[in-house]
Structure 1
C-alpha cells in the first residue's frame, strides 16, 4: 500500500508493475536481464479522491496518456527491486505534486520610492553616456 498523505492511501492492486529489459549501455547484463520496470496506473479506475483525479487528468504531463493512464518507466538501477521502488516513489511524487494548491498571485505595483530610484538610475546612466560623445573646442 502506497501512502500519499495521512488520509490518502493507494492499494497495491491498483498499480500494475511489469519487468522489461532496460535500454542503453550495460553489455551482457542489460541484454539478458529484465531489470527495468514499467509501472501503469489508471487514474479513472483508482480509489483516489475526485480532487486528485481531476488535477492529475488536467496535468499536461507526457507520462499520462490520453486515456488517463500513468506510465512510468524505471531503469536507473541494476536490480529490479530498486527500479520497482523508484517507479513507485515517482508515482507518489506525481500524485503529491497535484495535491499542493498554488497560492494565487496578487499583482502589485511598484512603490513610489522604487520608481524614483529607477528614474534616478536611468538619468545617471544617460549622463554617463552623454559624456562619452564628441568634445568640441
Structure 2
C-alpha cells in the first residue's frame, strides 16, 4: 500500500495505431467510437493533485458524515480508486465549496485545486478524474 493519493485528469485520448489491426477490426473500433464506446482508445492521464493518505482522510472529514460527496470520495479506501465523471461534478464542487470555511489553509488549497479540476470537466465533458494510490 502506498502513502500517495493522486488525482489523475484525462489529458488526451488517442487511437493506438501502432498495432497491426485487421481492417475488419478497425471498422468495428471506429464504429464503436462513433456511437460513444471507446474500443481501442488509449486514455492519457496526468496527475493534477497529490496528497498523502492521511491528508486525504483528514480533508474528507470536513464533508458531512454520511453525505453523498463524502461517500463518493471515501470509495477510494474501499476500492483503491474512484472515478469522477461529469455527473458527479456539481455535487462534489458544492460539497467542497461548503467545506472551505471549516478547513485550514492547507486543505482549502486542496479543495480549491479539486474544484478547479472539476470545473475543467464541466467545460470539457469528455474528461474525467481518476483518484488512485501510487
Give the TM interval when normalised to the shorter protein. under 0.3
* Greater relative contact order (CA < 8 Å, ≥ 6 in sequence): 2
* TM-score (norm. length: structure 2): 0.23
Q: Which has the higher strand share?
A: 2
In terms of fraction of residues, the more helix-rich structure is 2
Please, what TM-score do these two structures have when normalized by structure 1? 0.22
